[in-house]
Structure 1
Amino acid sequence: MSIAAYDAYARQLETLVTDVAAGRWSRVADDVTHALNGQASAELRRMVSRADRRASGSFFTTGGVRQSYEQLLTRSTASVRSRVIWDPTCGGGDLLIAGTAQFLLGATPAETLTVWNRRVRGHDLHNPFVTVARMRLVLAVLERHRAVGSDAPLTEQRWRNAFPQVQVGDGLNALRQVSNSRGFGGQLLLNPPYGMDAALPGCTWSTGKTSLAATFTAQASAAMAPGGKLFAVLPDVLRSGSRYRAWRGQLTERLVLEEIRPHGLFDDHTDVDVFLLSAVRRAGGHPGAAAWWPPSAATTNRSIADHFRVGVGPVVDNRDPHDGPEVPYLTARELPGQGKMDLPLRRRRFDGRLLNPPFVVMRRTSRPGQGAKGGARGTGILIQGDQPVAVDNHLIVAEPLTGGAARCQELLEVLDGPKVVHWLDERIRCRHLTVTVVRSLPWD
């Protein structure tokens, strides 16, 4: 099932617009409500395989995350009623519908379209998505006019030609073209693909495979004219991951960050935590401090790094040769949910750095709000024994600078405390804990 299968839903919406534009609301009012509220995403999941959706980065902004996005727009101080809005990865049009919700209506649907056609821009690589976005925007216009009692018939020519600037095209290339001109001074609405691709030529904040969401956002910030605004839904790894520190620095140089708000899971069908961002393109001056984390997740005076050397286990099992002495080999699979354990029974030949107990390990993979095998997120396990151990790189290791087992026991108590659990969930909601975050965990 390729994206082309979604064309059937696009044709279904065209039939619905035909009825609504002719004023036949009595039999289709509920259909319009569904079309504007989640149906486009549900039909995408039904008609297009998950593999094809993932390959194309096609996950529409619906449900709770769209509500949060609408609130973000409402809280903004921007004069949205007089600006152009542009979604360079518009999909089914959810963000454009949210953006036009702030627009004033004309006296009739036809008058509204005359104005809005000049103020709404969108790009997507897939023709069925563009058709769905345009038809849903028309339905949004007709539904709002009906709600205020100013509905009137709309000719087929008017609605079929509505929103001509929502078109098939490469949004990333469009952003690059704009960045080479005067810049876009309106409002950029962005929920970019979350997959990985090669960094663009000349990229200063990443090399090799990198997040497409980061690439789109960096290009969007470059495309904005001073005073232009950005409203984005982005994967939380960009906010909290160590790899994207330089990306965050570049955005801080270009943008005044008005609001950064962790949201949680994108939706019930997409296991990715996201955050919401609103920002304004700087007109000049020096960048200030950017609050990428809530105050409750700020760096404290004393952290774990004051008492422990923190790093990743040295063994990359599928890459490191089985050379050297045979030693106990610790992986996440052997760990209990919490507490202590003696030397692992598993053994491996390893010629690299070994760790001498006692030390504490943490699983790198975790989910906000919970840990593995009944432990809290970030729970540590004290490793005891009298032999050096090879530790897998899926574990984070904390070696005491002084104090031995007693200091390790203190760390277990700190990691299981409610303050650290809350701090972690505020600071990093992506699936992998980072060494930088663990080093920064509050000790007090």
Structure 2
Amino acid sequence: MGAVPYDTYARQLGQLVTEASSGRWERLADDVHAALNGQAASQLRSLVPRQVRRETGSFFTTGPVRNSFEHLLPPVPAQADAPTYWDPTCGAGDLLLAATAKLPLAATPARSLALWNRRLRGHDLQESYVTAARMRLVLALLERHRLAGSDEPLAADRVAGALPLLQVGDGLQQLHSLGRPARFGGSLLLNPPYGMAEAGPACTWSSGSTSLAATFTAAAAAALRDGSRLTAVLPDVLRSGSRYRAWREQLTGLLDVHEVKPHGMFDIHTDVDVFLLSAVRRRGGPVRSFSWWPEPEAAEGQTLNDLFEVRVGPVVDNRDPRTGPEAPYLTARDLPAGGEMGLPQRTRNYPKRLIAPPFVVLRRTSRPGQGSKGASRGAGVLVVGDRPVAVDNHLIVASPRAAGVDRCRALLKVLEQPEIALWLDERIRCRHLTVTAVRDLPWNGTDHLASMSSPPPHAKAQ
């Protein structure tokens, strides 16, 4: 079925363009404003079933995330030629709409359209989305001319032939087809599908099932000509997840990353945290160092990893055999919100590694801004007792390298601080904490916490 039901809305946009291009604005201004600001996404949710949207990766970039994206696009100097903007997964054209705010207007709508015809390029697998994108871009042009006082009519034949570089096609194939010397020399815009697919045989940074967003972004970086720009909206797991370390290394080998901006949830209807990326294809020379997240700010450089061995609980309950000695078995559902607990009542036979108390556990499943059972994000629980424990792999275990239970209690105090939750939200906004992120937590007992949120002494009010 694809996105065929969206044809209905695409036809409505075509009718709106017909009326606006004839100059009948007295009853159209509100309709045009809605078409350019969120209506395309709301119609998508109304007309296309959620499962189809997921299968096709159809989540349009609207609202605050589109505004943030537009602010990342650099202005075009008056004396410079306008760049070509290409969105290989254009959907209904929201990223291209953001880019048109940077394009100049000519004296008339027809002349502006002639410029935009050469400067706007897009691909999408769904024909109805491409049609909607064309119509919305023409509406944006007419709206800007109306506000500028140059709203003469636009001939029907001009509308019919508008934006010929927006085409139905596979954007990933288009990116892969570009190679020396035919790389793309403009500004590449990207909000790719966020689903999973098998990595291709030529992929050097992943294998097996991997993020389509990562695959698209790697292809986009490789397709750029030196000095050309990539601006993207991407799932935060690519920025902060341990699995995508090699992907990040590949990107920084190809691109000079100018900005990585955590955004939060994509929108109120899409429970995925995203970040915005602004980068330019390197012209050569040494690779510029770049951190994808805030570096630990710890006194004397200490992090949690200096004082604790941090690892994921070893038990995969639905896969590991129930053989070997019977041991207390710790799962996330048996944890209190925080504090201390004794040995769990639940038991399990487990033939592999058991973990001796005392240790602190953190839940791996942890969304930004909140924890479980009313606790703060990253809250820990101290486990004490006289028997080794089988720990489920939905938990992260921090075992003290020295000082035993006292060091564990100091860690609980560190993890309770709101500064730590804020640090974690900046460091990793995907749905699972990683061992790497927990190891990087800044540490200097409890003495360092005040310095994380307070100005230096010379900056305090007198």
What TM-score range do you get, normalising by the shorter chain?
over 0.9
* 2:448 aligned partner: none
- 1:137 corresponds in structure 2 to 137
Q: String of CA shifts for 1:331-374, please: whole Å, max 9, x gaps.
A: 00000111011111111111111111111100001111211111
Moved over 3 A (4+): 74-81, 294-300
Q: What does 1:295-444 align with in structure 2 at a 5 Å threshold?
A: 301-444=301-444
2:259 aligned counterpart, secondary structure: strand
SS at match of 2:44: helix
Query: CA offset at residue 385 of structure 1?
Result: 1.4
Quote the sequence identity (%): 62
What is the aligned-residue RMSD (CA, Å)?
1.7
Q: For the Cα contact (< 8 Å) 1:80–1:103, is it kept in 2?
A: no
For residues 425 and 78 of structure 2, the distance between their equivalents in structure 1, rounded to whole angstroms, comes to 31
Matched ranges for 1:30-109 at <5 A: 30-74=30-74, 82-109=82-109
SS of the aligned residue for 1:82 comes to: coil
Q: Shift of the alpha carbon at 1:201?
A: 2.1
In structure 1, how many angstroms separate the alpha carbons of the residues matched to 2:147 and 2:301? 55
SS of the residue 1:107 aligns to: coil
Structure 1 residue 296: deviation in Å? Answer: 6.8
Gaps of 5+ in 1: none
TM-score where L is the length of structure 2: 0.93
DSSP-derived class of the 2:202 partner = coil
Shift of 1:29: 1.1
Q: For residues 77 and 200 of structure 1, do their structure 2 counterparts lie closer, same or farther at Cα, with a shift above 3 Å needed? A: farther
In the TM superposition, what is the alpha-carbon distance from 1:222 to its structure 2 partner?
0.3
* 2:234 match: 234
Higher deviation after alignment, 39-48 or 318-327: 318-327
Deviates more, 1:344-353 or 1:86-95: 344-353
**C-alpha separation between the residues in 1 aligned to 2:426 and 2:190?**
23
Distance 1:314 1:77 in 2: 57
Q: Distance in 1 between matches of 2:239 and 2:322?
A: 37
SS in 1 for 2:373: helix
Q: Assess if the C-alpha contact under 8 Å between 2:2 and 2:126 holds in 1.
A: no
Residue 244 of structure 1 aligns with an amino acid whose one-letter code is: Y
Query: Residue 261 of structure 1: CA displacement?
Result: 0.8
Query: Aligned-pair distance for 1:182?
Result: 2.4
What is the CA-CA distance between 1:200 and the residue it aligns to? Answer: 2.2
Question: What residue number does 1:281 align with?
Answer: 281
Residues 162 and 75 (structure 1), Cα distance of their counterparts in 2 relative to 1, 3 Å cut:
closer
Cα distance in 2, alignment partners of residues 79 and 172 from structure 1 = 33
Q: Which runs of 5+ in 2 are unaligned?
A: 445-462
1:127-168 alpha-carbon deviations (Å, 9 max, x no partner): 000000000000001000000011111122211210010000
2:15 matched residue in structure 1 = 15
Deviation of 1:294 after TM superposition, in Å, equals: 3.5
Give the number of equivalent residue pairs. Answer: 444
In structure 2, the partner of 1:269 is 269
* Aligned equivalents of 2:77, 2:353: Cα separation in 1: 55
CA deviation vs aligned residue, 1:64-93 (integer Å, no higher than 9, x gap): 101111111147999985211100000010
Distance, in Å, in 1 between the alignment partners of 2:227 and 2:432 is: 36
Q: TM-score, normalised by structure 1?
A: 0.97
Specify the alignment match of 2:29 in structure 1: 29
In 2, Cα distance between the equivalents of 1:305 and 1:384?
A: 21
Tell me if the contact between 2:226 and 2:282 (Cα under 8 Å) persists in the aligned partners: yes
Residue 299 (structure 1) shift: 10
Seen in structure 2, the aligned counterparts of structure 1 residues 54 and 190 have a Cα distance that, compared at 3 Å, is same
Query: Aligned partner of 1:183: which letter?
Result: R
Verify the 8 A CA contact 1:172 1:219 in the aligned structure 2: yes
Contact 1:297 1:427 in 2 (8 A): no
The structure-2 alpha-carbon separation of the partners of 1:275 and 1:353, relative to structure 1 and needing over 3 Å to count, comes to same
- Checking the alignment, whether the CA contact within 8 Å between 2:76 and 2:82 is kept in structure 1 is no
